Amino acid sequence: MSEITDKYQAVIGLEIHAQLLTASKAYSSDSTEFGGMPNTNVSVVTLGHPGTLPRVNRAVVDSAIKLGLACGCKIRQVNEYARKNYFYADLPKGYQITQDTTPICNGGTIEITLENGEKKSINITRIHMEEDAGKSMHDQDPFDTLVDLNRAGVALLEVVSEPEIRSAEEAYSYVTEVRKLLRYLEICDGNMEEGSMRCDANISVMLKGATKFGNRVEVKNMNSIRNVQRAIRFEIDRQIAEIEAGGEISQDTRSFDASNGSTFVMRSKEMANDYRYFPEPDLPPILIDEKWIAEIKATMPPLPNELHKKFTENFGLSDYDAGVLTESKPVALYFNELTSETKNYKAASNWVTGDIKSYLNEYAVHMEDFPVTPKSIAALIALIDEGKVSHSAASQTVFPEMCKDLSSSPLQIAQKLDLIQESDAGQMEEWVATALAAYPDKVEEYRAGKKGVLGLFMGEVMKLSKGKADPKLANQLVRKKLEE
Ligand code: ADP
Ligand code: MG
């Protein structure tokens, strides 16, 4: 199979719908609050009653500009709205207000990381503003389909990529990067499981070296990034098998079945909707001037790729560490703050990606709610660097205590728990002398060349000091005395 697969090149373009976190809907003042009783966030505008008029929610435009700027898109000045017409029970107006020929953003890129660590830029075709439909529920009642219109009219941004993605793994990375941006910008929670971010994958295959793309299939209903990858893998194999068997790819819309990782036909091209787009007569175009864009620019948070660059170039961290640190904005910002309190960046990175992340996982705490300040973590790092506390005591005892006792400094905690390492030379000499005196025969063995007995003396010094001897200093002194 793999020899046959090797003859083909997959071509993928993704459409991502991001549900915006605006307080009210895209074209009405109805609340967007999730989880309310069905059909409670619905005014006459959402219900599409005759004589009602939509109005543009400025926060939706702000969000679109933010995402556009983050991706390096060109922001359109004159934004027209269009009607996309189709009939469905969860679409009371009979059309969605969207943008057709004048999307708010064009151009721009998403940078993905390939499996070999290299970067690749995927061009964005367009980002446009639109509204969601309501929800039809087919599994709540044994006889009827129920409709909840709370979601009808909630604002969406649709991000459409160029067909430049070449594998399921690249698609995985692309969706991950888009979600990361949405979350950094705090415009969408990116939760695919709950449907607040959705991804449709357009997939085709062609012989390697071909210039004309094959017929594409659009796959919907993947509720996680992992499932986007699974659906694409399945679809590539299915299309190749179909072509190899002498068949043709029909341009269908398919649905992903997560239970067995396959896709099945939802509707064929013949059944495709003709949306009869036309300009929305009830909304004047929105004009975006330089001032508006500048205002949004001023509110932009640091972006993941900027922080990644800073962490690798200024702080000398590895690509991998910087990647882990920038996965989520609160973690990246915590680390960033920590680096203004300590210059030991590698240790800072290890604490954040190690002990702190484990603590968050263990106690199901969000980074935002982590109780210990970056300043305190920096103080703990300093204690270790000064040799006052061993790394293992810091990690196993001082750090957990710091998470409970927020009013004491790491030094106070280490003192209270009797964990300050002894680096006092006089005291150290005494322990070393006692240790050596306890095993005169082993001292002779060492001097005769059996260097392995060093560990015995180190263990003895640690025992005598009750673990408080600074291991580095103790080691130096034991060697010195043995070699005298
Ligand atoms: P539609 O509105 O019918 O979904 P679009 O022109 O908006 O069509 O394209 C949707 C997506 O399909 C885009 O992401 C585009 O990159 C992708 N695409 C177009 N042609 C192909 C193809 N032959 N193979 C894979 N993806 C494709
Ligand atoms: Mg499409």
Give the pLDDT score at 421.
81
262: Cβ contacts below 8 Å, ≥ 6 apart: 234, 256
Give the pLDDT score at 1.
54
pLDDT band per the 50, 70, 90 thresholds, residue 427: confident
Q: How far is the CA of 86 from the centre of ligand 1 (A)?
A: 20
Looking from the CA of residue 204, the nearest atom of ligand 1 is: 24
Helices (H), 339-373: 345-351, 357-362
Q: Is 381 in the pocket of ligand 1 (CB under 6 A)?
A: no
Query: What mean pLDDT is predicted for residues 100-128?
Result: 95
Report how far apart, in Å, the C-alpha atoms of 356 and of each of 348, 365, 374 are. 10, 10, 11
Q: How far is the CA of 143 from the centre of ligand 1 (A)?
A: 37
> Is residue 19's pLDDT more than 70?
yes
204: Cβ contacts below 8 Å, ≥ 6 apart: 10, 11, 12, 163, 213, 214, 215, 216, 217, 239, 249
How is residue 188 annotated by DSSP? -
Residue 32 near residue 196, CB atoms below 8 Å: no
User: pLDDT per residue over 207-235, tens digit each?
Assistant: 999 999 999 999 999 999 999 999 999 99
From the CA of 103, the nearest ligand is 1
Tell me how far apart the alpha carbons of residues 457 and 107 are, in angstroms, rounded to a whole number: 68
> Is residue 102's pLDDT more than 60?
yes
Q: Is 11 in the pocket of ligand 1 (CB under 6 A)?
A: yes
Q: How far is the CA of 213 from the centre of ligand 1 (A)?
A: 11
Query: What mean pLDDT is predicted for residues 116-126?
Result: 95
Q: Is 194 in the pocket of ligand 1 (CB under 6 A)?
A: no
Q: How far is the CA of 13 from the centre of ligand 1 (A)?
A: 6
Q: Is 173 in the pocket of ligand 1 (CB under 6 A)?
A: no
Question: CA nearest 81: which of 276, 286, 292?
Answer: 286
Give the pLDDT score at 272.
73
Mean pLDDT for the chain overall:
94
Calculate the CA dihedral of residues 168, 174, 177, 181 and round it to 10 degrees: -140
User: pLDDT per residue over 143-179, tens digit each?
Assistant: 999 999 999 999 999 999 999 999 999 999 999 999 9
From the CA of 161, the nearest ligand is 1
> Is residue 424's pLDDT more than 80?
no
Calculate Rg over the CA atoms of the chain: 31
Between strands 119-131 and 82-85, the pairing is unpaired
Give the mutation target among 8, 11, 15 for probing the ligand 1 site: most ligand atoms within 8 A of CB.
15
How is residue 300 annotated by DSSP? P
Looking from the CA of residue 160, the nearest atom of ligand 1 is: 14
272: Cβ contacts below 8 Å, ≥ 6 apart: 253
> Is residue 471's pLDDT more than 90?
no
Looking from the CA of residue 14, the nearest atom of ligand 1 is: 14
Looking from the CA of residue 163, the nearest atom of ligand 1 is: 16
Q: Is 103 in the pocket of ligand 1 (CB under 6 A)?
A: no
Percent of the residues in the chain that have a pLDDT greater than 90, as a whole number: 87
Chain length of the chain: 484
Give the mutation target among 96, 110, 122, 216 for probing the ligand 1 site: most ligand atoms within 8 A of CB.
216
Tell me how far apart the alpha carbons of residues 422 and 90 are, in angstroms, rounded to a whole number: 72
pLDDT band per the 50, 70, 90 thresholds, residue 271: confident
pLDDT band per the 50, 70, 90 thresholds, residue 468: confident
Tell me how far apart the alpha carbons of residues 83 and 86 are, in angstroms, rounded to a whole number: 10
Instruction: Please report where in the chains the tokens 């709370």 appear, as a residue.
Output: 150
Query: What mean pLDDT is predicted for residues 335-357?
Result: 97
Q: Is 253 in the pocket of ligand 1 (CB under 6 A)?
A: no
Q: Is 239 in the pocket of ligand 1 (CB under 6 A)?
A: no
Q: Is 249 in the pocket of ligand 1 (CB under 6 A)?
A: no
Query: What mean pLDDT is predicted for residues 254-269?
Result: 93
Q: Is 171 in the pocket of ligand 1 (CB under 6 A)?
A: no
Tell me how far apart the alpha carbons of residues 233 and 116 are, in angstroms, rounded to a whole number: 19
Looking from the CA of residue 164, the nearest atom of ligand 1 is: 16
> Is residue 69's pLDDT more than 60?
yes
Tell me how far apart the alpha carbons of residues 101 and 97 are, in angstroms, rounded to a whole number: 13
Q: How far is the CA of 440 from the centre of ligand 2 (A)?
A: 83
What is the DSSP code string of 378-397? HHHHHHHHTTSS-HHHIIII
pTM of the model: 0.88
Query: What mean pLDDT is predicted for residues 436-463?
Result: 91
Q: Is 424 in the pocket of ligand 1 (CB under 6 A)?
A: no
Question: CA nearest 299: which of 111, 63, 108, 109?
Answer: 63
Question: CA nearest 379: which of 421, 418, 336, 413?
Answer: 413
Looking from the CA of residue 215, the nearest atom of ligand 1 is: 23
Q: How far is the CA of 86 from the centre of ligand 2 (A)?
A: 15
Query: What mean pLDDT is predicted for residues 357-371?
Result: 96
Kindly report the protein residue whose alpha carbon is nearest to atom 6 of ligand 1.
Answer: 160
All domains in the chain, ordered by first residue: 2-292 (no CATH), 302-416 (no CATH), 425-482 (1.10.10.410)
Question: CA nearest 228: which of 176, 157, 272?
Answer: 176
Query: What mean pLDDT is predicted for residues 63-72?
Result: 98
pLDDT band per the 50, 70, 90 thresholds, residue 117: confident
